[in-house]
Amino acid sequence: MNKKLKRLFVVGGVIVLLIVMNMILNRTVNTTLESLNQTTQDVLLDFERLKQSEKADPIWDGYNLSSAPIIFVDKDSWFNNAYTFNMDELEGLNTIGSTLITNTESSVYRFASTNPATWFLNLPFGNFPSMNQHYHVGSYHDVYYTKYSNQDIKQAFDQPESYPTSFFMHEYAHYSIQRNWPDAADFLQPLSVEGQALALLQYRIYDALILEMNGAGREAVLAQLLADWSVVQTARSTDNPSYVSDEGVKLTLEGVATYIGREASLRIGQPFHYLTASDGTPATYEMIISAIGDGLMDASYISNSGLYNTGAVLGDALDTVFPEWQMILNGMTLENPVSVYDLIYRFVDGQQLQGQRLDDLKAIYNYDSLLSVSQK
Per-residue pLDDT of the chain (376 residues; tens, 9 = 90+): 577 766 766 566 667 778 888 889 999 999 999 999 999 999 999 999 999 999 999 999 999 999 999 999 999 998 899 999 999 999 998 999 999 999 999 999 999 999 999 988 988 888 999 999 999 999 999 999 999 999 999 999 999 999 999 999 999 999 999 999 999 866 666 899 999 999 999 999 999 999 999 999 999 999 999 999 999 999 999 999 999 999 999 999 999 999 999 999 999 999 999 999 999 999 999 999 999 999 999 999 999 999 999 999 999 999 999 999 999 999 999 999 999 999 999 999 999 999 999 999 999 999 999 999 999 8
- Within-domain flag for 371: yes
Q: Are residues 220 and 361 in the same domain?
A: yes
Using alpha carbons, select from 25, 117, 17, 129 the residue that is nearest to residue 77. 25
- Within-domain flag for 56: yes
Q: Are residues 201 and 257 in the same domain?
A: yes
Q: Are residues 83 and 218 in the same domain?
A: no
Measuring CA to CA, how many Å separate 145 from each of 9, 85, 208, 226, 342? Answer: 35, 10, 38, 37, 33
Rg over CA atoms, the chain: 25
Residue 9: per-residue pLDDT? 66
Q: Are residues 131 and 200 in the same domain?
A: no
Q: Are residues 138 and 245 in the same domain?
A: no
Q: Are residues 206 and 150 in the same domain?
A: no
- Within-domain flag for 171: no
User: Domain count of the chain?
Assistant: 2
Q: Are residues 219 and 314 in the same domain?
A: yes
Could you tell me if 329 and 338 are in contact, meaning their C-beta atoms sit under 8 angstroms apart? Answer: yes
* CB neighbour list of residue 13: distance below 8 Å, 6 or more residues apart: none
Backbone angles phi, psi at 149, to 5 degrees: -150, 165
- Within-domain flag for 59: yes
Backbone angles phi, psi at 145, to 5 degrees: -125, 155
Give the range of the structural domain holding residue 148, as residue numbers without chain letter.
30-157
Q: From CA 212, how far away is CA 222, in angstroms rounded?
A: 7
- Within-domain flag for 197: yes
- What single string gives the DSSP state of each residue in 39-87? HHHHHHHHHHHHHHHHHHS-SSTT--GGGS-EEEEETTSSSS-EEEES-
Q: Are residues 331 and 209 in the same domain?
A: yes
Q: From CA 177, how far away is CA 162, in angstroms rounded?
A: 20
Residue 18: per-residue pLDDT? 82
Q: Are residues 79 and 207 in the same domain?
A: no
Q: Are residues 144 and 270 in the same domain?
A: no
Q: Tens digit of pLDDT for each residue in 2-19?
A: 777 667 665 666 677 788
- Within-domain flag for 18: no
Q: Tens digit of pLDDT for each residue in 120-178?
A: 898 888 899 999 999 999 999 999 999 999 999 999 999 999 999 999 999 999 999 99
Residue 349: per-residue pLDDT? 98
- Within-domain flag for 203: yes
Q: Are residues 239 and 90 in the same domain?
A: no
Using alpha carbons, select from 133, 130, 138 the residue that is nearest to residue 109. 138
Domain termination site, one of 157, 181, 216: 157
Q: Are residues 230 and 91 in the same domain?
A: no
Q: Amino acid identity of 138?
A: G
Domain termination site, one of 157, 185, 206: 157
